[in-house]
Amino acid sequence: MRNQILKRVTVILVLTLALSSVISSFVLMRNMLNENIDFMTQAIGVVDYSLNGGQPLEEQVRRMHDFGMREDTRITVIDRNGTVLADSDMDNVGTMENHLERREIREALESGSGYATRYSESLGKHLLYVARLSADQTKVIRISIPYNNFLEYMIVLLPLLTVGLAVALIIGVAVAARFSNRLAADEMKRQMEQMEKDRKIRQDFFGNASHELKTPITSIRGYAELLCQDFAQDEATRKDFLNRILKETEHMTGLIDDILMISRLESKDAEVTLSRVQMKAVLREVLESLEPQASSCQVELLGECGDIALQASVQQMRELLLNLISNGIKYNRPGGHVWTVIRQDAEAIYMEVTDDGVGIDPEDQARVFERFFRVDKGRSRKMGGTGLGLSIVKHIAAYYGGSVSLESEPGKGSRFRVEIPLSGINKVDNPAVSRYTNS
């Protein structure tokens, strides 16, 4: 990760610096050009003002150049027809070609002033030409100076730009290296904390599981001892003890099943058989299996589900509904109801289990999804609860990339809502999972 950060920072730095160098050079060059043009236009004004009819024009131009200007500057005077009248660099202006087609001359004749940059074959360099119509409008005066074009300008600037780039790169990479070192240390710390958290959760889980298993075992042992010691005098008492033993073993079986379910859901490489699951059929089956428990508690079960299918483990879907609906029965009162509604839209499948039972205090609402957490331990145990049901629901929802939420009001009832997004592994037409299907 560290090397990747460094690589990216270096690439970004080099690109940014190179681009900003090119842009700033271009802007600087344009500024310099404009300043030169301004300055040369002013100089032409001075030349124009100084020219007089007294002496030959060529002599005046040469003198002005020799006294007041740099060696590589050139002054040319052209008449309105393009004929060169005088040139500081040429003795025989008569041999010079007509200048009417030169861009700067044309512009000066049209609008009063103009400029152009051109490569001069005779001098072997680029020149900047600035021309201006004289005050009496009879001639155009032009000054030219050597001028670097953008590429030449870049070549001159290149050593400086390279030094700048290298310094920025060294600083940038050093800062990035420090930053990525810190990130790596933070990541390591986070991983260690997560490992410690996982270890604690596992430890708590084993502690709780052993404790939960101990209760029925103690009870079974107690009744078995009583039976052995012939404490049960009559047949009815003996049968009652045996029934209690049976009930405790059922509870133990339920607990072990739940523990196994959780550990399977947690181990990522556990084999899960996915198939096209028709939720309507699963709901019907779950409601039927819970009917005896519901009628003994005098709770009415109601269900509603359209033709909804998803790619899932049928066992997990059954377990999810079973846990939620049986909770609705267990934590209810005679005359209560449990409504189950399964809906679907373009994004997800929603399973809502609502009851008008005892409800859950706000401070306990987040905790009910914790393993072995029970609001009323006695009631849960009496109803065959293990304290793992909602934790299993949460795990199953998470397995499909979904979530479970809860709204509840004490004394009024609760609503559990599972949302499973229709994307990834659970989309029925997902080709990635079709090879695991057994439908």
Residues at the site binding ligand ADP, with contacts judged by CB under 6 A: 323, 327-328, 330-331, 355, 357-360, 368, 373-376, 380, 385-391, 414
Nearer to ligand ADP, 232 or 262 (CB): 262
Q: What is the DSSP string of 348-366?
A: EEEEEEEE-SS---HHHHT
CA angle 210, 322, 381 (to 5 degrees): 40
Query: Could you give the CA distance from residue 128 to residue 164 in angstroms, rounded to a whole number?
Result: 30
Q: Please state the closest distance from residue 287 (CB atom) to ligand ADP, in A.
A: 16
Shortest spacing between CB 301 and ligand ADP, in angstroms:
13
Please report the sign of the dihedral spanned by the C-alpha atoms of residue 313, residue 315, residue 318, residue 321: negative
Return d(Cα 321, Cα 271) in angstroms, integer. 21
Closer Cβ to ligand ADP, 389 or 402, answer by number: 389
| Smallest gap from residue 211 Cβ to ligand ADP (A) | 14
- Phi first, then psi: give them for residue 369, nearest 5 degrees: -85, -5
How far apart (Å, rounded) are the C-alpha atoms in residues 311 and 294? 30
Other C-beta atoms lying within 10 Å of the C-beta of residue 32: 14
Residue among 250 and 376 whose Cβ is closer to ligand ADP = 376
Instruction: State in angstroms the smallest separation of the CB of 364 from ligand ADP.
Output: 7
Q: Residue 171 or residue 366: which is nearer to ligand ADP going by CB?
A: 366
Output 61 or 388, the one with its CB closest to ligand ADP.
Answer: 388
Nearer residue to ligand ADP within complex by CB, 33 or 383: 383
Smallest gap from residue 379 Cβ to ligand ADP (A): 7
The answer to whether residues 311 and 347 touch, using CB atoms and an 8 Å cutoff, is no
Exposure on the CB side of residue 14, measured as CA atoms within 13 A? 5
Helix (H, G, I), strand (E, B) or coil at 51: coil
